[in-house]
Amino acid sequence: MASALHPTIALLQTSSLASVVQQEVERAILVGEYAPGTKLIEAALAQKMGVSRGPVREAFRMLEEAGLVRTEKNRGVFVRDIPIDEAVEIFDLRAAMDELVGRQLAANITPAQLKEIRGLVEQMEKAVKAEDAYGYHLLNLGFHDRLVEMAGNRKLTAIYRKLIKELSLFRRLNLADNWLLPVSAGEHRQIVKAIASGDPDAAGKALFQHVMDSKQRTIENDLRRQSRSQARDTA
């Protein structure tokens, strides 16, 4: 008969399984497989992933800490739905962080890094021509994440990524309308140009204004969505 696992080994195995479950559920949330408001069933997820309920419970705790789910007493665990006012707060905080990133990159970016972000913008422009809104959205996320990473502040990078994940729960993408893609691509081209100029003020301003423009588009899109919803309700 096999001996029981040492408590430390058992804990490590559970922690490892919880991380795998957390990463898979997070992926599913961020790509929209679990829409905001969806109830996550512990037993169903455990069966689906072939694990016991303990790692799933721990994964839920990690996801709640990351701001992706909420736990309601006696009701269960639900994917969070970010309201417009919270989305606006995230945009404001992100704008301040991006301004700092722009200033730092204008002063410190290397030629290799500059070539890399120019390449990302070129890929974005190809997605515009192909009218590939989803591909553009992924490139857009990658472009901004890479800028933050290049700034070299690990704390800022971690906080930024948490905010972006929370913002992804506000599932009303500004880039869903194809006519906005060339506008957005032009803004990214200007950001790279400002960083390449070596002028911290210009680079900081370009990134700050880009986020402010995205915030305004988000507010306008949400107002339009509410108007359409009210029109349907009264029809």
Give the pLDDT score at 2. Answer: 46
Q: Domain-by-domain residue ranges, the chain?
A: 13-79, 84-234
Same fold, 13-79 and 84-234: no
Which CATH superfamily does the domain covering 84-234 fall into? GntR ligand-binding domain-like (1.20.120.530)
Please name which of 98, 88, 63 lies closest in space to residue 78, comparing C-alpha atoms. Answer: 63
Split at pLDDT 50, 70, 90, the class of 172 is: low
Q: What is the mean pLDDT of residues 68-85?
A: 93
SS3 percent helix, strand, coil of the chain, rounded to 5, is: 75, 5, 20
Q: Which amino acid is at 113?
A: Q
- CA pseudo-torsion sign 175, 180, 185, 186: negative
Split at pLDDT 50, 70, 90, the class of 174 is low
Residue of 176, 169, 174, 143 lying closest to 30 (CA atoms): 169
pLDDT given at position 58: 93
* pLDDT 10s digits, 141-168: 999 999 999 999 999 999 999 999 898 8
Fold annotation for 13-79: Arc Repressor Mutant, subunit A (1.10.10)
E strand residue ranges, the chain: 39-40, 69-72, 76-79
Bin 186: left if φ > 0, else alpha if -120 < ψ < 50, else beta: alpha
Residue 211's CB is within 10 A of a number of other CB atoms, namely 21
